Amino acid sequence: MSAQDGVEARNARKVYGTGQEKVVALDNVSIVIKRGEFFTLLGPSGCGKTTLLRLIAGFETPTSGTILLDGTDITYDPPNKRPVNTVFQSYALFPHLTVAQNIGFGLEMRGHAKAEVDSTVEEMLALVRMESMADRKPTQLSGGQQQRVALARALAPQPKVLLLDEPLSALDLKLRKEMQSELKRLQLETGITFIFVTHDQEEALTMSDRIGVMKSGSLLQVGSPREIYTRPADRFVASFIGETNFLTGVLGKDAITLDAGGTLPLGASTQAKSGSKVTASIRPEQIRVIETDAPGSLPATVTESVYFGTDSHCHFALADGTEVVVRLQSPASGDVGLSRGQNVFLRFEPGALMVLEDQA
Amino acid sequence: MFNRSFSISRLPGFTTIAILVFVMLYLPIAMLVVFSFNSGTSVAIWEGFTLEWYPRAWANEQVKDATIRSLIIASTASVIATIVATMAALATTRRKQTRGQTFVYILINQPLMVPEIVTAVALLIFFASIKVATGYQGLGYLITAHAAFCIPFAYLPIRARLEGMDLTLETAAADLYATPWQTFRYVTLPLVMPGAIAGLMLAFVTSLDDVVITLFVKSAGQDTLPTYMLAQIRRAVTTEVNAISTLLLGLTVIMLTAFFLLTRKRN
């Protein structure tokens, strides 16, 4: 495998409209997605993730920049000339064709022999476990079944890249979980590069090999789910992926002196200058509540406790009023035993406090 | 108990007015049908049941001639109108909405808004000069004229169908290696078909019963069924005409029923 294998966007820029109505949907995004990877583009709506997907699919051409597939420039190739298939958010199944005809559509358009089309369709029906539905029309299927047919239809022509545009957003929670593992299984079985677009951070974390976090047309951070979660590049990534607490302070040597009092060690080195004012983040599950003072802990007052079933989210106020949320596993009684106004100490797990790199 | 919304059917006199309207609309037609089976020659006095007027009408060479001419014109004109209307509907629904869009709609639907007599006179003058220049006297003028005023009738159901169509389907087809032509052939066209057939039938019926434009445009000896009947009635209302009308009515009812069944929301 050469270094150029996979999908690459180079300075891809997409501008809609002109003059006052000008909208920059994609702002010089460069990214390399490796072959065989499950890559997720994650971001809030309007961040440009779908635009990037449409540029790769060929539904739109960039205002400037290039799209490459295995090192070949495909920027201006029409969609029917690209070995790239899409699973649409609305599924876009052809209502006048049966399930089998839908799945065979791509191969038929490419002029494959009927026998070959039929055998591939059968294979695909088995792959998505829809053998018994071959002769139904899409409207006779449930949402989850339509989803499977859309997947089978996009996989049948054996594309180099499969694009998935929020395909799970229309399903209910239980079905969504099922389809998540189903998608992961299909990706491993076929070895096809999956580029998955979602605004659901949990979906991104559980399914992806790597995640690209986007905001306002720019790519903020690319990395494995672990990297993104434990070492968020900036405040936006930290708060968009999971919940987090922000604490301000002055940077010392491998430690931070918080505005709320106390000096705590940092989890990793930072590029920020010693002595500068910084913001650090810590995840709610990486804080312990203790009764008595201990080294590396901060005094806090309970302000609120919210029960979530498997765990409870307790809100605390630090000495300077900064709010900190701590996630506690619910005990058998369901009551974490903290009442409003109670004074406790918060101990941060060593190495959990991260300085965010995006501050001046 | 106070949540009853306003309903027109609860207004006093609603039933009476409704019945009156239906009687006014359908009683004459019912009488026409009934008297086409009248054994006497009078159109006002019932003298007994007979089927004789139907074969008699058909035996009339002029009726046969006019019927065939009507069918030729209606079928040719409606097919032309449907093809043009489909293209127009594709053009108006597939492009970005612009300020000129309303103007385009008005242009396409012009025959619905301009009084028929105006179009008729305009066509008469226009075709007259072509006749002089080319010497051609055939049915082409009537077919052209009919196709033109049938376009909006074909256009409306087709446009409705296209507007309700998910454009992502065409994107999906392109994504699955279909060329633009294949996309049209295997996705767009099959999905537009019910609208196109409905449009075709509306156009056919509209062409079949046109009088005003036909009267102005036709050359001598080019009577269609409606213009022939009009000429007959000028002399005397005959039971033969009743029979022809009843048959036309039957044909129209069949076509409109088919139109209704096809345009009914199907999944």
For A81-128, how does the pLDDT look when each residue is reduced to its tens digit (9 = 90+)?
Answer: 999 999 999 999 999 999 999 999 999 999 999 999 999 999 999 988
Residue-level pLDDT at A3? 53
Could you report how far apart the first and last alpha carbons of chain B are, in Å?
Answer: 38
Tokens representing A260? Answer: 């709320």
pLDDT digits (tens, 9 = 90+) for A158-187: 999 999 999 888 788 888 888 898 899 989
Fold (CATH) for A3-235: Rossmann fold (3.40.50)
Q: What is the mean pLDDT of chain A?
A: 89
Neighboring chain A residues of B182 at a CB cutoff of 8 Å: 109
Residue A151 has pLDDT above 80, yes or no: yes
Residue-level pLDDT at B151? 93
Which residue has tokens 């009947």? B229
pLDDT classification of B265: cutoffs 50, 70, 90: low
Asked whether the beta carbons of B175 and A80 are under 8 A apart, the reply is yes
What CATH number does the domain located at A243-358 have?
Answer: 2.40.50.140
Tokens representing B186? Answer: 């295997």
Q: Which residue of A has its CA nearest to B187?
A: A94
User: Cα(A154)–Cα(B8) distance, rounded to whole angstroms?
Assistant: 52
Identify the residue with better confidence: A268 or B46: B46
Asked whether the beta carbons of B224 and B71 are under 8 A apart, the reply is no
Residue-level pLDDT at A66? 94
Selection from A31, A20, A27, A21 nearest residue A63 by Cα: A27
Q: What is the mean pLDDT of residues A61-71?
A: 93
Element at B150 (helix H, strand E): helix B140-163
Residue-level pLDDT at A29? 93
User: Cα(A281)–Cα(A249) distance, rounded to whole angstroms?
Assistant: 11
The phi and psi torsions of B255 (rounded to 5 degrees) equal: -65, -40
Fold (CATH) for B61-263: MetI-like fold (1.10.3720)
Q: Do A95 and B172 touch (CB under 8 A)?
A: no
Report the largest interatomic distance among the alpha carbons of chain B, rounded to a whole angstrom. 76
pLDDT digits (tens, 9 = 90+) for A266-299: 777 677 778 888 888 889 988 988 888 887 788 8
B136 at interface of A, judged by CB pairs closer than 8 A: no
Residue A121 CB contacts under 8 Å (≥ 6 apart), including other chains = A100, A103, A104, A107, A134, A156
Residue A343 has pLDDT above 50, yes or no: yes
Asked whether the beta carbons of A11 and A66 are under 8 A apart, the reply is yes
Neighbours of A165 (CB within 10 A): 22
What count of residues does chain A have? 360
- Residue type at position A180: Q
Q: What is this structure's pTM?
A: 0.79
Tokens representing A81? Answer: 């000339």
Tokens representing B223? Answer: 């009577």
Taking the CA of residue B91 as centre, how many other CA atoms within 13 Å lie in the half-sphere pointing to its CB? 12
Q: Which residue of B has its CA nearest to A153?
A: B176
Asked whether the beta carbons of A264 and A256 are under 8 A apart, the reply is yes
pLDDT digits (tens, 9 = 90+) for A325-339: 999 888 888 777 888
- Residue type at position A140: Q
**Residues of each domain in chain A carrying CATH 3.40.50.300:** 3-235
Q: Which residue of A has its CA nearest to B177?
A: A80
Task: State the nearest Cα–Cα gap between B168 and chain A, in angstroms.
Answer: 6
Neighboring chain A residues of B174 at a CB cutoff of 8 Å: 58-59, 78-80
DSSP B12-68: TTHHHHHHHHHHHHHHHHHHHHHHTTBSSS-SSS---B--THHHHHHH-HHHHHHHH
Residue-level pLDDT at B1? 47
**Residues of each domain in chain A carrying CATH 2.40.50.140:** 243-358
Element at B56 (helix H, strand E): helix B53-59
Nearest to A85 among B175, B179, B187 (CB): B175
Pairing of strands A255-258, A245-251: antiparallel
Handedness of CA A243, A245, A246, A252 (dihedral sign): negative
pLDDT classification of B247: cutoffs 50, 70, 90: confident
User: Cα(B238)–Cα(B227) distance, rounded to whole angstroms?
Assistant: 15
Pairing of strands A245-251, A218-223: unpaired
Identify the residue with better confidence: A199 or A255: A199
Selection from A291, A325, A331 nearest residue A311 by Cα: A331
B90 at interface of A, judged by CB pairs closer than 8 A: no
Residue A1 has pLDDT above 50, yes or no: no
- Residue type at position B173: A
Neighboring chain B residues of A106 at a CB cutoff of 8 Å: 176-177
Tokens representing A67? Answer: 């799209």
User: Cα(A151)–Cα(A141) distance, rounded to whole angstroms?
Assistant: 14
DSSP 8-class letter at A157: T
Q: What is the mean pLDDT of residues B241-264?
A: 82
Share of chain A above pLDDT 90, in %: 51
Residue-level pLDDT at A359? 55
pLDDT digits (tens, 9 = 90+) for B15-38: 899 899 999 998 988 888 888 888
Residue-level pLDDT at A119? 95
A88 at interface of B, judged by CB pairs closer than 8 A: yes
User: Cα(B215)–Cα(B141) distance, rounded to whole angstroms?
Assistant: 12
Residue B266 has pLDDT above 60, yes or no: no
Residue A360 has pLDDT above 70, yes or no: no
Neighbours of B219 (CB within 10 A): 13
Residue-level pLDDT at A34? 93
pLDDT digits (tens, 9 = 90+) for B155-164: 999 998 888 8
- Substitution target in B175, B183, B192, B197 with the highest count of A β-carbons within 10 Å is B175
Task: State the nearest Cα–Cα gap between B169 and chain A, in angstroms.
Answer: 5
Nearest to A90 among B168, B176, B182 (CB): B168
A106 at interface of B, judged by CB pairs closer than 8 A: yes
Residue-level pLDDT at B267? 38
Asked whether the beta carbons of A351 and A286 are under 8 A apart, the reply is no
pLDDT classification of A62: cutoffs 50, 70, 90: very high
